[in-house]
Structure formats: structure tokens, C-alpha cells
């Protein structure tokens, strides 16, 4: 796994996730806080793993997920959100997420998914 894309509207959360990946040996990690930018980077960078939030200022996270799945139905996309109710998790998985990770992120849970 070489390229990682993180899309989270919170710069703090995006930085925390990026730092977790960097500390675990991943060096090609891109971060954005925009849903539209996330979709563009997903298409442009072809990341091996994408981690997305469900809430953005400019685009709904489920729309971001759908656009990413339209671009590539096979790449691994983990939804990482504080909206962690069971119904939201089920919706995310049924909408094409490879996995769901509740915030706050625990390093061992993230490692188990990658």
C-alpha cells in the first residue's frame, strides 16, 4: 500500500490521521478538508487507501463516497466518522465503504483495517 488519501473537514482530525499513517511507515499521505477536492484527488492520485469523513462543508460524505465508488468500485475506502450510530455504519457499508471506523480513532483499530 503506497498512496493514502485522507478527507476530513476537520484539519485537526486529518492531521491526526496523517500522523498515525506516517508513524506507521506510510510516506505518501495526502490530506484534504473538502469533499469536492477529495473526489478530485481520488481520481487523480488513485490512492490504495482512502479514509473519508461523512461531513464536509461543501458536499455530503455519502455523495463523496458514491462519486468515489463510481470512479473505482474496487479501491479500499474507510469511512471514519463521529456519526457512529449503527444505522449510519450500516448505511456507509451499504453505500460502498470497505469499513467503518468510529472517532476518536484508536491506532490499533486503524491498523487492523489497513
- Rounded average pLDDT over 72-97: 92
Span 34-53, pLDDT tens digits: 999 999 999 999 999 999 99
Q: How confident is the model at residue 106 (pLDDT cuts 50, 70, 90)?
A: confident
Average pLDDT, the chain: 93
E strands of the chain, at which residues? Answer: 3-7, 28-32, 49-52, 76-81, 99-102
The helix (H) or strand (E) run that includes residue 10 is none
**Where along the chain do its domains lie?**
3-109
Structural domain 3-109, CATH architecture: 3-Layer(aba) Sandwich (3.40)
| pLDDT at residue number 19 | 93
| pLDDT at residue number 61 | 94
What is the C-alpha separation between 105 and 57, in angstroms, rounded? 21
Q: Quick check: pTM over 0.85? A: yes
Question: How far apart are the two ends of the chain, measured CA to CA in Å?
Answer: 9
| pLDDT at residue number 112 | 82
Amino acid at each position: 500500500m503506497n498512496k493514502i488519501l485522507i478527507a476530513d473537514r476537520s484539519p485537526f482530525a486529518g492531521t491526526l490521521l496523517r500522523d498515525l499513517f506516517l508513524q506507521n511507515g506510510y510516506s505518501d499521505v495526502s490530506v484534504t478538508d473538502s469533499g469536492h477536492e477529495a473526489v478530485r484527488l481520488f481520481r487523480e492520485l488513485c490512492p490504495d487507501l482512502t479514509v473519508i469523513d461523512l461531513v464536509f462543508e461543501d458536499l455530503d460524505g455519502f455523495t463523496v463516497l458514491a462519486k468515489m465508488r463510481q470512479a473505482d468500485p474496487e479501491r479500499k475506502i474507510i469511512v471514519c466518522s463521529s456519526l457512529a450510530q449503527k444505522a449510519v455504519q450500516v448505511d456507509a457499508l451499504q453505500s460502498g465503504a470497505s469499513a467503518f471506523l468510529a472517532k476518536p480513532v484508536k491506532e490499533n483499530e486503524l491498523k487492523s483495517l489497513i
